[in-house]
Chain A
């Protein structure tokens, strides 16, 4: 695949972020059916899948360079967006190994990893990085191994330690988050950090998901899709910065709704790590405007139906009430009532101009 990177696009202030037609078709649309409710929607993370976003272990797209720049800006303003507790150092190296090996194998034109025993050299051509270091010796890298490699990956990552039959979020790189805070959650157990989610606790979703993840096996990663909606293509919607982005919600009007409101999808992946037995949780964020979604007939029909019938508690938790009605009103005339096929694939291979 030949990706044309767009290094100058922005995710704040000027918001020049845009999707090419190819990028739109690879979007991991999150709704496999015309209605939505919480479930343990976890499946094996195998190569392939309904769109091109599922082709690699860690997906790289045309926004790679711009996203890495945005991450660096967020970290410069607030270094606490990356924190790892001291007992997770082994998991940090596990993460670096997994991400470097996966990127080098999936994108040999962009990344190269060479090894001579513990002496490794990493080349990241899109970001213009060449780094030699000793695996296992943190002082040979410019920063901790987890921070080093996740500065060069799209999406957020957290590290979960497994002990006492529970998972604890003991580290993370969190700069593209949907309104949650690593600084607040770090050290929490599985049910603690999922505390705010409505309905799902009562349905036993988290009890089952925890049991499943405690058994997650090395070499058998799993994935799920999660979603919300964000005004403007803003990656960093953190509680710390709520005063910056919260007021955006009031800027949505029936005239600008399609361009302003974005469906925000997280392709979440979970990997058991070998040395540490920790779990690496990847939260890869994809933003697509309602106007772009409207270019795909199946997706616009389905998004209309899902939002129209959405449980009000879920809508409130996801912060949609200020603009949900406007999105539904925009999409309603575009939904001809035709049945939609099961699954998330766009069912077209070209976007009509």
Chain B
């Protein structure tokens, strides 16, 4: 229950699945067990390459029953200068990394009569965490994975443990040969569709489903969300007489607290109104549910727990 602090994980094993695909297994660096991984959940890894700090989200592919290790699969993106390149080229078994508590923004619907899973390329990863959960529920499902021709056997191997007696297919013929409209049209009433992959695929599934009259709530797209993040900025705390730098994955409130200034707060999610602070200079990027549209437009208050600066600098009355 201690509100999720990042924890240290040790790389237990790295397996090359294909020339550009590696599976990384992590274990808790200080022993014990991980929290039960949420179905469709992801973790945020902090990767430190010298002075450069990257925070990348990866879907967990391990089943909810597996608490000794967390697995992710990472594709090396051509010309990557970011996290995937760092993980593929610089991280070795035994290394210790920082991981945030898993988050689930891509859950399975409990009322679905049937689950239709569609993955494109590396978008297979959250679907791999769905499969053991769907099996455990005894739920009806169907899975279609799109892949390049050379990666078809790789994905078939990953899906093999769940394939017996199930409708699981890997398509290597490209998007043009994949009859998305036909697939969606023949689903029984009460089916929910889940898609993860390139934006073009996710948009195609959403628009095709909409055109066929699927209710919006039955179409689910993978999302890593995180609406507290944004461009870094500087906040001047007028009463305290200090300035704080707010990093891109940090909230204004967290930066204020890190500087040792006690700031009012309660829910830390933009709902209760406790952290409302006078905005003296600069413009706020309001992300809370507390201030009215008029109050937001007036621009004299900011909710430090979720809202940010629109611009490089703000001055607040703290």
Residues of A within 8 A of B (CB): 39-47, 57, 87-91, 94, 97, 102, 117-118, 135-136, 161-165, 207-209, 211-212, 215, 217-222, 272, 274-278
Q: Choose among B104, B266, B270, B271 the residue that contacts A272 (Cβ–Cβ < 8 A).
A: B104
- The B contact surface, by secondary structure, is loop
CB-CB under 8 A for A218 and B101, given A42-B271, A46-B3, A207-B289: yes
Q: Choose among B41, B270, B271 the residue that contacts A218 (Cβ–Cβ < 8 A).
A: B41
B217 CB–A CB distance under 8 Å: yes
Chain B window 1-23, contacts with chain A (Cβ cutoff 8 Å), 1 for yes, 0 for no:
11110000000000000000000
Instruction: List A contacts of B120 (CB < 8 A).
Output: none
- CB proximity of B2 to chain A, nearest CB, Å: 6
A102 to B37 CA separation, bound complex (whole angstroms): 16
Instruction: List A contacts of B289 (CB < 8 A).
Output: 207-208, 211-212
Instruction: List A contacts of B4 (CB < 8 A).
Output: 217, 219-220
Can you add 11 more A-B contacts, CB < 8 Å, to A161-B111, A164-B217, A208-B272? A44-B268, A45-B1, A47-B1, A90-B133, A135-B65, A163-B110, A215-B269, A217-B4, A218-B103, A219-B3, A275-B39
Q: Is the CB of B1 within 8 A of A46?
A: yes
Q: Choose among A162, A165, A207, A274 the residue that contacts B41 (Cβ–Cβ < 8 A).
A: A274
| Chain A residue with Cβ nearest B39 | A275
B109 CB–A CB distance under 8 Å: yes
Q: Is the CB of B271 within 8 A of A209?
A: yes
Give chain B's interface residue range (CB within 8 Å of chain A).
35 or more
Q: Is the CB of B133 within 8 A of A41?
A: no
- CB proximity of B30 to chain A, nearest CB, Å: 16
B290 CB–A CB distance under 8 Å: yes
Q: Is the CB of A218 within 8 A of B38?
A: yes
B267 CB–A CB distance under 8 Å: yes
- CB proximity of B228 to chain A, nearest CB, Å: 10
- The A contact surface, by secondary structure, is loop
B197 CB–A CB distance under 8 Å: no
Q: Is the CB of A87 within 8 A of B111?
A: yes
Query: In this complex, which of A47, A209, A220, A221 has the most chain B Cβ atoms within 10 angstroms of its Cβ?
Result: A220
| Chain A residue with Cβ nearest B270 | A212
| Chain B residue with Cβ nearest A94 | B36
Q: Choose among A40, A215, A220 the residue that contacts B273 (Cβ–Cβ < 8 A).
A: A40
B108 CB–A CB distance under 8 Å: yes
Would you give 28 A-B contacts (Cβ < 8 Å), ordered by A?
A: A39-B272, A41-B272, A43-B266, A43-B267, A46-B3, A47-B1, A90-B136, A90-B137, A97-B36, A102-B1, A135-B65, A162-B107, A163-B110, A165-B217, A208-B289, A217-B4, A218-B104, A219-B4, A219-B102, A220-B4, A221-B1, A274-B37, A274-B64, A274-B102, A274-B104, A276-B107, A277-B107, A277-B110
B311 CB–A CB distance under 8 Å: no
Q: Choose among A45, A102, A161 the residue that contacts B110 (Cβ–Cβ < 8 A).
A: A161
- CB proximity of B64 to chain A, nearest CB, Å: 5
Query: In this complex, which of B4, B267, B271 has the most chain A Cβ atoms within 10 angstroms of its Cβ?
Result: B271
4 A-B pairs closest in CB distance: A277-B107, A212-B271, A274-B38, A219-B101
CB-CB under 8 A for A40 and B267, given A218-B102, A274-B104: yes
B35 CB–A CB distance under 8 Å: yes
- CB proximity of A258 to chain B, nearest CB, Å: 32
Instruction: List A contacts of B108 (CB < 8 A).
Output: 276-277
